[in-house]
Amino acid sequence: MLDGYATAFKDANDVIITDIESARETDITHTVSGADVANVVGQTARFFNTRAQIIDYILAKVQSGDVVVCMTVSGFNNLAAEIATSVNKA
């Protein structure tokens, strides 16, 4: 599965990866980390541990006309809305 990420984001300019959240898995040991995924994705990927790091990075990079896509299992505590609010204030 990890190898699939190598090409999954090939057309993205920037990819932000954070810790992998469990969805329905309860008794499964994680064998892949967010850092592992970022390493496989390559130069366009950044791994961040905190939402503050994610938002700071996006605010530093985003320009008018850019598209920011958030893909999470549980919404990462409404990260997309927080990013939108922060970008609109900038």
Which residues, given as ranges, of the chain have pLDDT below 70?
22-27, 30, 75
User: What angle is formed at CA 80 by the lines to CA 78 and CA 83, rounded to 5 degrees?
Assistant: 110
- For tokens 């959240």, name the residue: 21
Query: Tell me, what's the pLDDT at 33?
Result: 86
Query: Tell me, what's the pLDDT at 57?
Result: 96
Give the integer Cα–Cα distance in Å for 63 and 60: 9
Query: Tell me, what's the pLDDT at 22?
Result: 64
Give the integer Cα–Cα distance in Å for 68 and 58: 9
Query: Tell me, what's the pLDDT at 44?
Result: 92
Query: Tell me, what's the pLDDT at 90?
Result: 80
Q: What is the tens place of the pLDDT at every residue in 44-68?
A: 999 999 989 999 999 999 998 999 9
Query: Tell me, what's the pLDDT at 3?
Result: 86
Query: Tell me, what's the pLDDT at 31?
Result: 77
SS3 label, residue 30: coil
> Strands, E, within 2-89: which ranges?
15-17, 45-47
**pTM for the complete prediction?**
0.80
How many residues are recorded in the chain?
90
Concatenate the DSSP letters of all residues of 14-26 into one string.
-EEE-PPPPSS-S
